[in-house]
């Protein structure tokens, strides 16, 4: 009886995990998600974003893509397989982020989008005194840059 319960538990957990993505492009990477290391696929950017070539996927198959990057705002998109691949365009998907991809056929996996060559995923802003001297202060702002805002009526 115990063997039957253990076998049923193993079967259910295997189905819940799903089959791995049938990727034909990218390289194997380890992605840290919520403190755990997961096997994933690293994709390099080309002129139109990132492309994940898939083996044996039907055209127009739907994939759900979720941002799983630590500290990022959770977001989810639906992307269709076109030309045997999933396309991750630069405005929607961010370099340096990890995504969970789940195909309607039950195949799942993680991808990491490498920043384009010569660019970093993180950007740094530097403010100088010259910037403050050239920008005129808007009306209602004091010399130290603090604006006075009236309170609303309660």
CATH number of the domain bearing residue 78: 2.60.40
Residue 141: inside a domain, yes or no?
no
Q: How far apart are CA 72 and CA 153, in angstroms?
A: 36
Residue 107: inside a domain, yes or no?
yes
Residue 64: how many other CB atoms lie within 10 Å: 15
Residue 10: inside a domain, yes or no?
no
Q: How far apart are CA 25 and CA 2, in angstroms?
A: 43
The predicted pLDDT at position 61 comes to 82
Residue 137: inside a domain, yes or no?
no
The predicted pLDDT at position 70 comes to 87
Q: How far apart are CA 154 and CA 151, in angstroms?
A: 9
Domain that holds residue 77: 17-113
User: How many domains are there within the chain?
Assistant: 1
Residue 40: inside a domain, yes or no?
yes
The predicted pLDDT at position 72 comes to 86
| Mean pLDDT by groups of 10 residues along the chain of 154 residues | 47 50 81 87 88 80 90 88 87 90 89 80 60 56 61 71
Residue 33: inside a domain, yes or no?
yes
Which ranges constitute the DSSP H helices of 83-145? 129-134
The predicted pLDDT at position 16 comes to 42
Residue 52: inside a domain, yes or no?
yes
Residue 95: inside a domain, yes or no?
yes
């Amino acid at each position: 009886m115990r063997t039957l319960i253990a076998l049923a538990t193993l079967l259910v957990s295997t189905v819940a995990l799903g089959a791995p993505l049938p990727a034909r492009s990218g390289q194997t990477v380890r992605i840290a998600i919520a403190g755990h290391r997961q096997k994933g696929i690293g994709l390099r950017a080309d002129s139109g974003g990132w492309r994940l070539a898939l083996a044996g996927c039907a055209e127009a198959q739907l994939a759900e893509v979720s941002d799983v990057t630590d500290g990022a705002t959770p977001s989810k998109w639906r992307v269709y397989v076109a030309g045997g691949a999933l396309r991750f365009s630069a405005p929607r998907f961010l370099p340096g982020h990890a995504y969970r991809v789940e195909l309607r056929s039950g195949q799942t996996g993680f991808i990491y989008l490498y920043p384009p060559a010569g660019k970093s995923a993180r950007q740094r802003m530097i403010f100088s005194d010259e910037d403050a001297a050239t920008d005129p202060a808007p009306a209602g702002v004091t010399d130290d840059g603090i604006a006075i805002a009236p309170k609303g009526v309660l």
